[in-house]
Structure 1
Amino acid sequence: MQTLTQLINGELSGATTIKISEGLESFPEQLFELTDTLEYLDLSSNKLTALPDDFNRFKKLKVFFVSENRFAIFPAVLGKCDNLQIIGFKSNLVTHIPNDAFHANFRWLILTNNQISSLPASIGKCSKLEKLMLAGNRLAALPKELANCNSLALLRIAANNLNMLPEWLVEMKSLAWLAFSGNNMINQKVESVAGVNIDQFQIQQLLGEGASGTIFKATSIDVNNQDEVAIKIFKGSVTSDGFPEDELQAYLAAGHHPSIVKLKSVIDLDEQGKKGLVMELIPAHFYNLGKPPTLNSCTRDVFDEDFKLSEQQLFEIAISMASVGAHLHERGIMHGDLYAHNVLVDDTGNTLFGDFGAASRYDKRDLALAFYLERIEVKAFGFLLDDLLSLCRANISAHDALCKLRDLCLSEDQQLRPGFNEILTELTLLRNS
C-alpha cells in the first residue's frame, strides 16, 4: 500500500499499481500524473463521494476498486473508460446508476451491499461481462436486457427483494454459478439443531477465511467429550453471497452425505441472534483441490503448475461431486459455488465439500425451474471436470468418453446437459469399465 505523501512528492512516478487508504475525502489530483502508466487503482476504505469528470484520462486503467466509500451515484464517467474491465463498488451508498455508466468491456462488476433498486437497461451492452455481484441491494426486478450478457457465468443476486427468477435468466447459456437466497421466493424453514454456547469451546488457531465467515480450530471444554472441531463465525449481516441465516438454513436442509462436511451444531453468539457453525474438523491430510479465481481468470479456478492428479483421484473426486450435486438438487438446494477451491481432497481422492455461503433453496414442485437450476449447476460441474482432466497425469483409458461428458455438461443448449444422476451413472460405469 502506498501513501498520499508519496504520491504528492512524486515518489510514485511511472507506477502501474496504486493502493491508497487514508480516509480521503476527495480524489487525489496528483494521480493524473500517472495516466500513461496506471493499470490498477484501489481507493477502497476512504470517504470519496465522486470522481472527476475527466477520470477517463486513465487510458490504461483495467482494474478500479473503490469499495467502502460514500458514493451515492455510480459515476457515469466509468462508461467512458475504454480499457476498464474490473470495477468494485462494494459497501457504498449507491442508489442510482446512470444509463451511460456501463461499458461493453466490463468483465467483472461488484455492486454488493448498496441500496440499488434498479439496474439500467444499458447493462445489456456488457457483452463481455462474466461476473456480476449484486447481493445486498433492493432489487425487485432484473432488466430483461441482462439476457444479452451472453458471457455471464457468475451472478449473485441474494439478499434483494426479488419475487421470482425470470425465465430468461435461468435459460442464459453461460450461467454456471448462481446465488439467489434471501429474496421473496421461498420461505421454508427447516428444523434446526440444538444451539450451543461459544463458551463451551476453547478457540485455537485460525484455519481459514471466506466471504461469509472465519473458521477456527476449537476444542470442547467438556472433559468427557474433548472433540476437536471447526467453528465458523459469520462476519456480518450480509456478504457477497447473501445472508448468513440462509447459509445456515441450506446447510441444515442438505442433511447427511458422506462427502459433505458434517454440521454438528449451531452456536448462539449473542442476544441479537448472531450465530456460528460447529463442523467436523477436516483431517490434516486433506487439502484444497484448487485456488480461487484471480483477476485475470475471473470465473475460473487456478492451480499450481506442478499439481497433478492420478486417474484414481480424478474418478473419486468426480463421482463424489456428482453424488453431492444429485443429493442437493433432490432436496431443492443449489450450491451456487461448485468450484475446485471449495473441494477438499486427499492423495487417494477422498473428497469433502462444504461452504454453503452461496447456496439457495428452491421449490422442487416447479419442475421447469428445478430442471434449469440443476442444469446451471451441471455447467459448473462441467468446468470442474475440465479442470480434473487438465490436471490428470495419467493416460486415462476413458479419456475420450470423459471429454464427451464434459462437453455435454458445458453445452450451450441446456436441454443437452445431463442431470447429476445421469452424470453419476456414467462416471461410475466409466470407472468400472
Structure 2
Amino acid sequence: MVSDAARTPQDTLERLRRGALAGAVRLDLDHAGLSTLPPEVFGLADTLEVLNLSGNALDALPEALPRLHRLRVLFCSDNPFTELPEVLGRCASLEVVGFKACRIRRVAATALPPRLRWLILTDNQLESLPDELGRRPGLHKLMLAGNRLDTLPRTLSGCHGLELLRLSANRFEALPELLLDLPRLTWLACAGNPFADAIEAEAVAGRQAPGIAWSDLALGERLGEGASGVIHRACWQGADAGTEDVAVKLFKGTMTSDGLPRCEMDACTAAGCHPALIPVHGRLDAHPDGVDGLVLGLIDPVWRNLAGPPSLHSCTRDVYDPAWRLDVDRALRLAGDIASAAAHLHARGLVHGDLYAHNILWRADSGAALLGDFGAATFHRPDGSVLARTLQAMEVRALGLLLGELVQHLDAVPGDPRAAALEALATRCLHPVPLQRPTAATLAEALQRPH
C-alpha cells in the first residue's frame, strides 16, 4: 500500500478520476501537468476546502469554480496566468489565494473574494492594484514582493486588520504614508525599493562581510529550510584556526517570499554582533552555480525553534505545541534577550520585519534565545523621525504578541507578580497608536529589572 506522502501528483489525479477521493477536504494536484482543471474536482464540492494547483500549465480557471462552495484555500503558483481570474471574486468561502511566480499583470476589482484574508501575489508583473483591495475588512496578510508597484490604493488605509505586508523589490520612491497609521501592522518588509536602496547602501558602506570561497567549505548534512533558503552543516577549511564547523545558508533563487537575497545578506552584515543574534562569518564566494549564500555560526542542537510558522488556519499567528509550558524565569530571559536584540537592531537602523517565534531559537534549560532569519529586514535612518519611530513601533507590536504568547504558556505560581507584569508589558506593546508603544530599548530594560 502506498502512503499519502509517497504518492505522486499523477497518482492523486488517477485516484480522483476513478472516484477514490470522495469526501476529501484537501486536494494536491501540484506539478500534475494540468492545462485545465479536471472536471472530477467538482465531485468534491461538498467537502473540498484546500486546493493546490501550483506548478502546472494553467492560464485560466473554469467559470464553475464557485460550485466548490466550501473552498477556503487556493494555491495556483507557478502557472502562466497573466491576470488574477475574476471567477475568484464569486467564490463566497475563499479566504487564502496564492498566485506566486506567475505572469500576472492585472488584478480586476471583481477578482477579489469577499472573505479574503491572505493574498499572495509575490514575483509577478503588477504595476497597480484596484481600490477594491482596501474594501476587504478580513485582510490580514498581503504579499506583494517582486512586482513593479510604485503606489498602493489609498483605500488600504481602511484595512485595520492588516498585520503582515511584503512590499520588497518593487518601485516605491517612498514608503506609502498610509501604512504609518495602520493600528495592527506588525511585520513589514520593504527593502529592495529605490527609497530603501539608498539607505541600505549607506548602512553597509565599509561593513561588507568578508567573502568565503566555496572551495574552502565541505558541505555536510541539511539542517533545515526556510522561505528563502536551505541551511547545511559545513566544515570551513579556511578558518583562522584551521578548520571550523559552520552553517551555510544557500538561497533558493533571485526572489523569495520576503524579497531579495542581496538585501538579506546586507542586513545580516549590518546587524553586527549581539549575544542574541546568530553570528555571521561572511558571504559565500564563487559557488559553481552562482548561488548566493551566507556562512553562519553553527548552533548547538540544544537550541530549538520556539514554535512552528503560521498555518493556513492561524494565518498570522505561530503554532505552538499546546502542551509546551515554561516558568516565569525562563520567559523573562527569553523575552529580554529578543527585546535586547531588537533594540540593538533599531539603534543600527534595522527592523527585523519577521520577529516571530518560528524565527527564534531557545534553550530550554536557561530560556536564552537567538533571533534569526533576516529575509524581511528593512533599513531605515535611526534619526528619531516619525518614519523611523513608526517602523520600530511596528516591531514592538511583534514583541508584544510574543510576550502574550509566552504568557499563555506560563507555568506560573498563582499570584506571581512577574507574570502580571509580563502581561501588562504585552498590553502596552499592542497600543493601537504605534507611537504610543514603548521602544524596544525601554522594553528590554523593563524585562531585565526584578519585578
For the aligned pair, the TM-score class normalised by the smaller chain equals over 0.9
Q: Does 1:246 align with 2:246?
A: no
The TM-score normalised by the length of structure 1 is: 0.96
The answer for the alignment partner of 2:409 in structure 1 is 391
In 1, Cα distance between the equivalents of 2:257 and 2:165? Answer: 11
The one-letter code of the counterpart of 2:432 is E
152 and 403 in structure 1: CA distance in 2 versus 1, 3 angstrom threshold = same
In 2, Cα distance between the equivalents of 1:160 and 1:98? Answer: 20
Q: CA deviation at 1:272?
A: 8.0
Give the one of 265, 286, 308 matched to 2:303: 286
In 1, Cα distance between the equivalents of 2:224 and 2:80? Answer: 30
Could you tell me whether the CA contact under 8 Å between 1:106 and 1:126 is conserved in 2? yes
| Secondary structure of 2:179 counterpart | helix
In 1, Cα distance between the equivalents of 2:290 and 2:193? Answer: 20
In 2, Cα distance between the equivalents of 1:97 and 1:366? Answer: 37
Give the one of 317, 328, 343 matched to 2:360: 343
Q: Does 1:231 align with 2:248?
A: yes
Q: CA deviation at 1:100?
A: 1.1
The answer for the alignment partner of 1:377 in structure 2 is 395
Could you tell me whether the CA contact under 8 Å between 1:109 and 1:131 is conserved in 2? yes
Q: CA deviation at 1:265?
A: 1.3
The one-letter code of the counterpart of 1:115 is Q
In 2, Cα distance between the equivalents of 1:269 and 1:118? Answer: 38
The one-letter code of the counterpart of 1:76 is E
In 1, Cα distance between the equivalents of 2:132 and 2:92? Answer: 16
The answer for the alignment partner of 2:4 in structure 1 is none
Greater shift after overlay, 201-210 or 397-406? Answer: 397-406
Q: Does 1:19 align with 2:39?
A: no
- The gaps in structure 2 that reach 5 residues or longer are 1-8
In 2, Cα distance between the equivalents of 1:113 and 1:366? Answer: 33
What are the equivalent positions in structure 2 for 1:162-201 lying under 5 Å apart? Answer: 162-186=172-196, 187=198, 188-189=200-201, 190=204, 191-201=207-217
The answer for the alignment partner of 1:410 in structure 2 is 430
Measured against aligned partners, the alpha-carbon deviations of 1:322-380 in whole angstroms (never above 9, x if no partner) come to: 11111111111010010111111112011111110110101233601011001100000
The answer for the alignment partner of 1:79 in structure 2 is 89
Give the one of 366, 371, 375 matched to 1:353: 371
Query: Size of the alignment, in residue pairs?
Result: 431
In 1, Cα distance between the equivalents of 2:289 and 2:124? Answer: 23
The answer for the alignment partner of 2:278 in structure 1 is 261
The one-letter code of the counterpart of 1:125 is R
Could you tell me whether the CA contact under 8 Å between 2:412 and 2:419 is conserved in 1? no
Q: CA deviation at 1:54?
A: 2.2
| Secondary structure of 1:168 counterpart | helix
Q: CA deviation at 1:34?
A: 1.8
The answer for the alignment partner of 2:319 in structure 1 is 302
Could you tell me whether the CA contact under 8 Å between 2:191 and 2:377 is conserved in 1? yes
The answer for the alignment partner of 2:119 in structure 1 is 109
Could you tell me whether the CA contact under 8 Å between 2:123 and 2:147 is conserved in 1? yes
Could you tell me whether the CA contact under 8 Å between 1:204 and 1:216 is conserved in 2? yes
Could you tell me whether the CA contact under 8 Å between 1:311 and 1:394 is conserved in 2? yes
104 and 366 in structure 1: CA distance in 2 versus 1, 3 angstrom threshold = farther
Give the one of 161, 184, 209 matched to 2:225: 209
The one-letter code of the counterpart of 1:362 is H
Q: Give the CA RMSD over aligned residues.
A: 1.5
The TM-score normalised by the length of structure 2 is: 0.93
Could you tell me whether the CA contact under 8 Å between 1:269 and 1:275 is conserved in 2? no
Give the one of 115, 139, 147 matched to 1:129: 139
The one-letter code of the counterpart of 2:44 is L
- The gaps in structure 1 that reach 5 residues or longer are none
The one-letter code of the counterpart of 1:423 is L
The answer for the alignment partner of 1:320 in structure 2 is 337
In 1, Cα distance between the equivalents of 2:388 and 2:335? Answer: 22
Measured against aligned partners, the alpha-carbon deviations of 1:368-419 in whole angstroms (never above 9, x if no partner) come to: 1011001100000000001111112122332222211111101112232111
Greater shift after overlay, 4-13 or 368-377? Answer: 4-13
The one-letter code of the counterpart of 1:390 is Q
| Secondary structure of 1:265 counterpart | strand
In 1, Cα distance between the equivalents of 2:384 and 2:36? Answer: 51
In 2, Cα distance between the equivalents of 1:72 and 1:269? Answer: 36
Greater shift after overlay, 267-276 or 412-421? Answer: 267-276
